[in-house]
Structure 1
Amino acid sequence: MKRFFTLLFLAASWPALAQYVQDYKAEGDRAFVNKDYYEAAYYYLKAADGLKITKAVDLPYQSSSGKPQNGQKPGDQLYIKYKLADSYRLYENYLEAEPWYYQVLNDAQQTNYPLARLWYGICLRANQHFDEAIKQLEQFKNAYKGDASSLALAEKEIRNCLFAKEQYAFPASIDVKKLKGKWNSDGSNYATIKRDENYWFTSSRLIKNDKRHLNRIYHLANNNTAEPEIIRFQDEEGRKEIEYGTPSMDPAGKRLYFTRWYKEGSKIVHAIYCSERQGEAWSRPRKLNSNVNPEGFSAIQPFITADGRRMLFVSNKPGGQGANDLWICNLDEQGNPTNSLNLGPEINTAMDEQAPYYEENTHRLIYSSRGFTGLGGFDFFESFGDLGNWAAPRNMGYPMNSAKDDLYFCPNVSHDGRFFISSDRESDCCLELFEVTDKRYFVSGHLMDCSTQKVLTGATVSLVDSISKQTVKQLTLASDAPYSFRIDTKRPYKLLFEKSGYFTKSVPVDGNGKMMADTLYQPDACLQPFEVGKPIVIQNILYDYNMATLRQESKTVLDGIATILNDNPKLKIELGAHTDSVGSEEYNLQLSQKRAQSCVDYIISKGIPMDRIFARGYGEAKPIEPNSLPDGKDNADGRQLNRRTEFTVLKTDVVVLNGIKQ
């Protein structure tokens, strides 16, 4: 399990221990070897005070002289600094570890500790100094000549930094807030489950009767006003140091599965147990059989599926991918495991996986892992599958994840968009309980023909990530069916609408899920039909009398043409200008050519390649209405319609030379 289980017990014991310690350095070494890193940090800090070493917290980013003080050996000083930094890091207090590593790296004898820069980079990443972390990790990679695993770790941490920078720039559309009231205490608080209007969770808060901090399972009513009530089992063994946590309940609420652990020397022994409800009490815990609890290995963090027939759990037993893996077993009618199966390399890595949760109706597995690219520590990942075949796990992003440890997902069964997680993001030692509010939204609507306003059946609508340019989801519209996409993050997206015989349209989506207005046609989702070779009149292209200079209103309309060409990169168009019959044919031909060219020049200035659009003036040669009435009088309305600008889609194999289609 994690470091928080015994920290407060150790801290409570320190004042008494310190009265009898003569050699703080030796005691720090002893605790470090026993992996009691919190205790080791205490003694190394005492040793640093004894040697009058400048505290790193006083000078967080200033170089120390590295000179011995009061005649002490410089090697002793550097050793204590390094071991103190290591102790802080190994119980994941990166904030305290970072400046001590900094002092080591600014010492003349730093070469005695070649991994110090790697650990310093990891601390920087955990403390969200991503750019400096990348710099330090790259420097470590270039200089280190040791084992490949350390270099691989540096590579992974660089990927974490790059991933984290993007996640912090475009967080998921959720709010994460620490639970108020009786949930969190002076100890660790984690691993919530909910049934009806009641919660069970794990806490290492002070047990008043025992006057000790021990992990126990607590019950809390939904009104959250009373003190959480400790769950006590019948005929519990007399060893007070036994701890319990990470509960999971069968569908009937009759069996409670949990982790039980205790310390033997320097080793912590973990196993999964079960207790039966007997009225208002719980029976004496029974250890599950060797399918789950093989001798000499750990089993932790049970999760019972909604049908009550299977249990997911975590174990380091043989047959996995390395370290702690996720496993699954079948349960018989008595709740006993009949087998066990590793969830496989798609889910598990060579590093730790923990805290499984499986959602039956969506076939979604949510769990925590250190083995994939993430923000650091344990991150939440989700994968979809049938407890056999799994899709590649997806990091659930920031702020669901943080630069520290994030574990234990629990939904709110009222389906109100809230759920619960455990994280030490606001603590230097311990997990706390957080409530997450889902603020993801949907962008939806109908796609229509811009001319007929009828729904376009068979059109393709895609949600595209505007940064990566990757399609997030794509669907084909059925008859009268709307498109609908859920927007999960605050990243910029766009909707791409496509159908044969229509101009493809790309429409940005703003942070509130609304489509931004189209500049050429209506802001509703509609596509403009076209036929190759058939002119389309562009409305509101305006010029001053006898001039070819574009007005500002005309530029706005031409921006829409540039958008069409950007959204349809294979299109080539002719832009044609027409006049009425006032004036000579030669004059009108020249004027129309100038007007067409001014339009083309403007569109090219927007980044459209000149080989995709060319200008052609037709003068008065192609009227669409008579310029004069049958009685010979002027037809003002007809002449106005003849003074027009059009664009025509050309065949894609058309070549244009000197304004002439070849």
Structure 2
Amino acid sequence: MRIPYLGVLLVVFSISVFPAFGQENTDDTEPKEKLHKDVEKAYDAYDAQEYTLAIELLKTALGEVRGRDDKSTVLFKIAESYRNINDYKNAENYYLKAVKLGYKDPIAQLHYADMLKAQGEYEEAIVAYQDFKQENPTDRRAEIGIESTKKAIEWMDSPSRYQVDLMKDLNSTGYDFSPSYAGKRADDNEIIFTSTREESVGKKEDGWTGGSFMDIYVSSAERKEKGRRGRGASTDEDELVSPASLKWSTPKLLDEEIVNTKSHEGSAVFDSRRKELYLTRCLVEKDKKFGCGIYISEKLGVNWKEPEQVIIGTDTSANVGQPALSPDDSRLYFVSDEFNTKGVHDIFMTTFDRRAKIWKTPTNLGSKVNTDREEYYPFISGDGQYLYWASNGLPGMGGLDIFRIKLGEDGMPAPNAEAENLEYPINTSFDDFGLVFQGTKDEVGFLSSNRKGSKNDDIYGVVKTPLVFELEGVVTSSKTGLPIPQATVKLDGSNGTSVVVNADKDGYYIFDKDKIDADVQYTLTFEKAKFLTNTGNTTTIGVDLSAFEYIPSANQFLHKLQVNKALDPIEEPIVLPNVFFDLAKWDLRPEARAALDSVVPIMKNNPTIVIELRSHTDYRGDNKSNDVLSQHRADTCVSYLVSKGIAADRMVARGMGETEPFNIQEGYKGYGAGQLEEGNRLTEAYIKRLPPEKQEVANQVNRRTDFKVLRDDYVPAAGPVDQDAVDPKDIIADKNSGVNNALLVIFTS
């Protein structure tokens, strides 16, 4: 939680000139005249925020103080010092010692819980927050700590799509952070960032960090390696490439005289033309530290113009830093502890008055962004839609977390917008901040973090792992269940794409990830000679991330879609489901209409076939009456299909009477399946040998309607039939109907 350190850096150490900047209010120090000289010296270093020195002196002072109150105060200050230099383990130990010794301010217990959380010890942190809540039941920070820690556990178990990789070419043993894009916009292969590495112009040791002063460095990507499939920021044909997979040049100072000086420089951003540089500078003269300000410079050839301070409002001495610009450069966002700041540091926005040539009095971004703690490192997305920033005052995983919020047309948070935590692995239990994205999309970028694996603050490459789809299936015969070799499968997408593949000898087909896109509705058409063409549907719209499998070797999330399809052989009669008639009648019931509706797409998908619609009866009743009844029913079915737009000359109605008892084939799954033995024909003699309850089942199976393909060379003789001839209200859809479910058409007589 190097929070005050970050504040000091505003990006750079501004708080060191303001003793209370970024500190908890711990008014627990005795008057200086009563202190032992070693204790006074230690307290002076602590108050001056010289934390690396303060730790050493405070440990010495611990032996010079007497009494539980005094000792617990020193222990607390040691813990605070460790917290400010990001040594969470030692901070945790000293907070606990202070609590056990009876430190009077409950903030020690809260910070103890924070340190556990910052190390990813989430279960222990929850217990510590609960202890704090028990002693301070009205303090909301306890409940926020508990709930956000539970969320952190969930986010760790279900990572987001982002991949975060250490930028080994850029980082040093010092602090490296706050990257920003530089160079030509068309390439986006150059960045600037802030660093305390040894090459810095400011050679003096910073008392807070123990390292060099901050300067701005630049590095360029020298070589692109092949990335994984996806769309990049420049064109739709580009591939998404993690910055960490590129080769970057050895970082060098942006400038050694004009931009970078013996003071602190850092957290810089270019305007939209990549011509003018806005940077944070914190002046240091003769060991005296002054406030931070935003400065603007411009590169002219190989030289830089002397930076000029950006005056915001009328306050020429305002302590400000960490600039960010809207895509059109009309709005400047920054961090400050002034301008009626609500918390320790807030984010503000100001617009440029072109007539007066000044930046107007800034506006606080409000409670949706700013909290009673710290907010840092604003960044505006390339399309101007979102503000990204870091905060430790909103529910997060520990330390600073990165958030985003939707912006309105005025550049302020939109009325109904809420802060979104970017979750793991963008965020961790450590400090995560300074996120920037390339171009107008949130796909490729950089962030800063002191997470596990970092030396101090390090820069990480960010890439949004692609969601890829594959579609596969097997084409089989509805009669035998066997695969249909070399079946043709056509895939048509709602985005206008169309692809055709052939199934292999086992009926297996696949459309790989290069042929399937996200957010598309797909229709499949299955064809094979001597089989009826069939269709299927699938979609890549709204597929939850949990449905994907992460494939480490390919660096992608993969979701496999599957559509298996059975095709009906044209030489076999196809039983229609649920065509019911009342006793001795041939009027279509609603169920029968819905079942016959399933024939319509078959006829449309197979425009060259002519079918025979056949109605059957059971053996009961005389042959002549059964023949007449079945013919009327077949005629009724044909008439209904004509009303649905199927040409009359493509159908022949035939009443079968009781002449063709049904044969229970192997694998039969229709009406009565499991009650009637496979391999038997339902003749009158066979049925009469069955138990009474099975006799009725067998008779119902025989009372069926089916259709048989007579030929497949039909050529229309006239124009299309009016498909609106029937009132849609007369049609009752049955979502479970279809020719492949092998249900019988059952009659009551």
- Please state which band the TM-score falls in when normalised by the shorter chain: 0.5 to 0.7
Other-structure match for 1:356: 378
Deviations 1:231-263 (A, max 9, x none): 2454998xx4x2111111123333211111246
Secondary structure of the structure 1 residue equivalent to 2:368: coil
- Give the aligned partner of residue 246 of structure 1: 267
Correspondence list, 1:141-152, <5 A? 141-144=133-136, 148=138, 151-152=139-140
d(CA) in 2 for partners of 1:100 and 1:169?
31
> What's 1:618 paired with?
697
1:231 maps to which residue? 255
CA distance in structure 2 between the aligned counterparts of 1:172 and 1:100, rounded to whole angstroms: 35
CA contact (8 A) 1:40 1:87 kept: yes
After superposition, give the CA deviation of every residue in 1:370-415 in whole Å (9 maximum; x if it has no partner).
2322112221122333424523222111111111211112334598
Residue in 2 aligned with 1:28?
A: 42
Q: What amino acid is the match of 1:229?
A: L
Given the superposition, is the C-alpha separation of residues 384 and 178 from structure 1 closer, same or farther in structure 2, using an over 3 Å criterion? same
Question: Does the CA-based 8 Å contact 1:303-1:356 persist in structure 2?
Answer: yes
Judged with a 3 Å threshold, the aligned counterparts in structure 2 of structure 1 residues 409 and 428 are, in CA distance, closer, same or farther, namely closer
Distance 1:24 1:182 in 2: 41
Structure 2 residue aligned with 1:215: 214
State the alpha-carbon separation in 1 of the partners of residues 166 and 127 from structure 2: 33
Find the aligned partners of 1:513 and 1:274 in 2 and give their Cα distance.
Answer: 46
For 1:382, what is the secondary structure of its paired residue? Answer: strand
Q: Are residues 123 and 234 of structure 1, via their aligned partners in 2, closer, same or farther at CA, if it must alter by over 3 Å?
A: closer
Partner of 2:94: 100
Aligned mates of 1:456, 1:590 — CA distance in 2:
50
Aligned residue for 1:40? Answer: 54
SS at match of 1:88: helix
- Separation in structure 2 between the aligned mates of residue 131 and residue 647 of structure 1, nearest angstrom: 60
Q: CA 1:587–1:479 in structure 2 vs 1: closer, same or farther (change >3 Å)? A: closer
- Separation in 2, partners of 1:419, 1:153: 32
Report the Cα offset of residue 326 of structure 1.
2.7
- How far 1:121 moved relative to its partner? 1.3
Note if contact 1:219-1:231 (Cα within 8 Å) is conserved in structure 2.
Answer: no
Residue 418 of structure 2 is matched in structure 1 by 392
For 1:288-322, what per-residue CA distance to the aligned partner results, in whole angstroms no more than 9, with x for missing partners? 1232x735642211122332333222233335654
Say yes or no: does 1:140 pair with 2:154. Answer: no
Q: Is the 8 A contact 2:268 2:322 kept in 1?
A: yes
Q: How far apart are residue 209 of structure 1 and its match? A: 6.2
Deviations 1:624-655 (A, max 9, x none): 569xxxxxxxxxxxxxxxxx98599xxxxxxx
Conservation of the 8 A alpha-carbon contact between 1:576 and 1:646: no
Give the 3 Å change call, closer, same or farther, for CA 138–353 of structure 1 in structure 2: same
Residues 21-100 of structure 1: pairs in structure 2 closer than 5 A:
23-48=37-62, 50=63, 73=67, 76-100=70-94
Change (3 A) 1:35 1:416: closer
Aligned-partner residue type, residue 5 of structure 2: R
Q: Secondary structure at the residue paired with 1:399?
A: coil
Change (3 A) 1:360 1:101: closer
Mapped pair 1:342 → 2:364 = yes
The one-character-per-residue Cα deviations of 1:559-608 (angstroms, maximum 9, x if unpaired) are xxxxxxxxxxxxxxx9987644565569445459xxxxxxxxxxxxxxxx
3-state secondary structure, aligned to 1:425 = coil
Tell whether the 8 Å contact from 1:577 to 1:646 is kept in structure 2 after alignment.
no
1:184 maps to which residue?
A: 172
- Counterpart residue number, 2:118: 126
Aligned to 1:439: 465
Query: Would the alpha carbon gap of residues 343 and 209 (structure 1) be closer, same or farther in structure 2, given more than 3 Å must change?
Result: closer
The 5-angstrom pairing of residues 300-339 of structure 1 reads 300-318=321-339, 321-331=342-352, 336-338=358-360
> CA separation in 1, counterparts of 2:341 and 2:122?
33
Classify the secondary structure of the residue corresponding to 2:700.
coil
Q: CA deviation at 1:280?
A: 1.9
8 Å Cα contact 2:470/2:560 also seen in 1: no
Q: CA deviation at 1:354?
A: 2.0
Structure 2 CA distance for aligned equivalents of residues 476 and 182 of structure 1: 40
Q: What amino acid is aligned across from residue 214 of structure 2 in structure 1?
A: N
2:141 alignment partner in structure 1 = 153
Question: Is the 8 Å Cα contact of residues 220 and 229 (structure 1) preserved in structure 2?
Answer: no
* Matched letter for residue 314 of structure 1: V
Q: 1:132 to 1:182 in 2, by over 3 A?
A: closer
Give 1:229 shift: 2.1
Q: Distance in 2 between matches of 1:74 and 1:350?
A: 31
How much does 1:443 deviate? 4.3
**Aligned amino acid, residue 91 of structure 2:** A
In the superposition, relative to structure 1, how do residues 104 and 624 fare at CA in structure 2: closer, same or farther (>3 Å)?
farther
> What TM-score, normalized by structure 2, do the two folds share?
0.56
CA change 1:38–1:285 in 2 (3 A) is same
Q: Is the 8 A contact 1:446 1:482 kept in 2?
A: no
In the alignment, is residue 378 of structure 1 matched against residue 400 of structure 2? Answer: yes
Q: CA deviation at 1:329?
A: 2.5
- What is the aligned partner in structure 1 of residue 293 from structure 2? 271
Mapped partners of 1:519, 1:139: distance in 2: 57
The partner residue of 2:434 within 399, 408, 413 is: 408
- SS in structure 2 at match of 1:330: strand
DSSP-derived class of the 1:284 partner = coil
Counterpart residue number, 1:599: none
Percent of matched pairs sharing the same residue: 20
Tell me, yes or no, if the aligned pair for 1:358 and 1:365 is still in contact at 8 Å. Answer: yes
Residue by residue, what CA displacement relative to the aligned partner does 1:183-204 show, whole Å, maximum 9, x if unpaired? 4342343333332343211112
Query: Structure 1 residues 395, 103: CA separation in 2 closer, same or farther (over 3 Å shift)?
Result: same
> What is the match of residue 513 of structure 1?
558
SS at match of 1:433: strand
Contact 1:236 1:284 in 2 (8 A): no
Q: Which amino acid aligns with 2:403?
A: F
- The answer for the alignment partner of 2:448 in structure 1 is 422
Find the aligned partners of 2:259 and 2:158 in 1 and give their Cα distance.
53
Q: Which amino acid aligns with 1:130?
A: Y
Say which one has the larger Rg: 2
TM-score, length-normalised on structure 1?
0.62
**Higher relative contact order, chain-length normalized (CA < 8 Å, sep 6+):** 2
